[in-house]
Structure 1
């Protein structure tokens, strides 16, 4: 199961997210849930970097673990993309509830 955690600041704005684990929907190379979650997360990170030019406090992208925290000074301009990711992953979790679980902190 992929465990997704969205982290919020005191103003209820998303400041970062973390993905851990594997969907285990299908074998490696055929796992559409893993592919959808990973591609959405990496696309948002790349868009935050290339299009919005935000600064990051920390980024990790390795097998079974993606972690991204936006610098406090860029939280406001990152909200559209981070909310987009949250909505996309919520929709995926509705279709595949045993493969992805979403938490909010």
Structure 2
């Protein structure tokens, strides 16, 4: 007999930005939360091609289910942002819904 299969649980991950239109070279804070609460690192990711490819901007540490990350875009354009968690032994990996940002 094999080990009983135990599916991984889902998590909920959010990603927010105060203004969806901003000027380049202006700092803003990307923030969000994870449920259930975990002590983990979240990757903040960016896409410049409508989500076809994602690159890591950096990492944020979750504290009491919340995280924040400072970002200062250096060039104009339309970007998609999201947060990504790799999961753990009990929870599936998860990406937050995307946030569209226009940088002028």
TM-score relative to the length of structure 1: 0.34
TM-score relative to the length of structure 2: 0.34
**Higher alpha-carbon Rg:** 2
Q: Which has the higher helix share?
A: 1
